[in-house]
Amino acid sequence: MLDFEPAVLVHDRLFLMTNTLTANDKKLIKYFQYIHDLEQAHSALIFLSDIDADQYQDKSYRRRFMCYDTAFVVCYARPFLRQKGDGFPQMSAKAVGLELSNDERMLHDKIIKGRHKRVAHGDIEATALKVSGALVERNDEKYHLPIPTYDEPLLTHVWGLEDITKLTRKWLRAVANWASDRVQIDGGIDVLVSPKVDIL
């Protein structure tokens, strides 16, 4: 159990999370969290870039990298999804002065859709699954043993790892530049955000 109160320190002003923060304060706090999300997404892509192409078709080998594939989608998508009830803004290209090409916008939308369809909810239409049965005998009794085989490709490879990496870096630079400019305008920064008691 954590023994401290949830608090936010913004520009030398201390607020309890129950107090009202200004819209600008909320945006500043949340966008620094978005930087962390995108950094994690980028780190996942670095792991995924180490896949041996000669072994990629081996399902057990590919499965080892599925966790990084999932981590990328979750961390990349998080800044663009509004969290219910917290009052914090979701990120947008307009907010950070970022211009995306049509291809980049389409790729971005595919990642968000992949998060909704396969990573977060596991829609059946996005699942590649085969279940076969084997008749086995044990202690003179026969029974059918189901053997599931998952053949889902890595989403990051379907979408194109190089293009996704460029897009992630583009977002990361834009948010970091926005945050840096904001700090210069405010004449410095001193922010402390601690989790709610019992949340961990």
Tens of pLDDT along 62-105? 888 888 999 999 999 999 987 665 666 788 899 899 999 999 99
Dihedral pair phi/psi, residue 48, rounded to 5°: -65, -25
CA distance 149 to 129: 6
Do 200 and 124 touch, CB atoms closer than 8 A? no
Distances, alpha carbon 200 to alpha carbons 7, 29, 54, 183, in Å: 16, 20, 41, 30
Q: Give dist(CA 150, CA 160) in Å, integer.
A: 21
Look at residue 133 and tell me whether its pLDDT is greater than 50. Answer: yes
Kindly tell me the sign of the dihedral angle through the C-alpha atoms of 121, 127, 73, 113: negative
Residue 29 near residue 7, CB atoms below 8 Å:
no
The answer to whether residue 170 is domain-embedded is yes
Q: Find the domain containing 88 and state its range.
A: 7-127+154-193
Say whether pLDDT at 173 is over 70: yes
Does 168 score more than 90 pLDDT?
Answer: yes
Over residues 120-137, mean pLDDT? 73
49 within domain boundaries? yes
The answer as to whether 25 is a domain residue is yes
**Structure confidence at residue 48 (pLDDT):** 92
What's the domain count of the chain?
1
Whether 11 has a pLDDT exceeding 70, the answer reads: no
Q: Is the pLDDT confidence value at 4 over 60?
A: no
pTM: 0.77
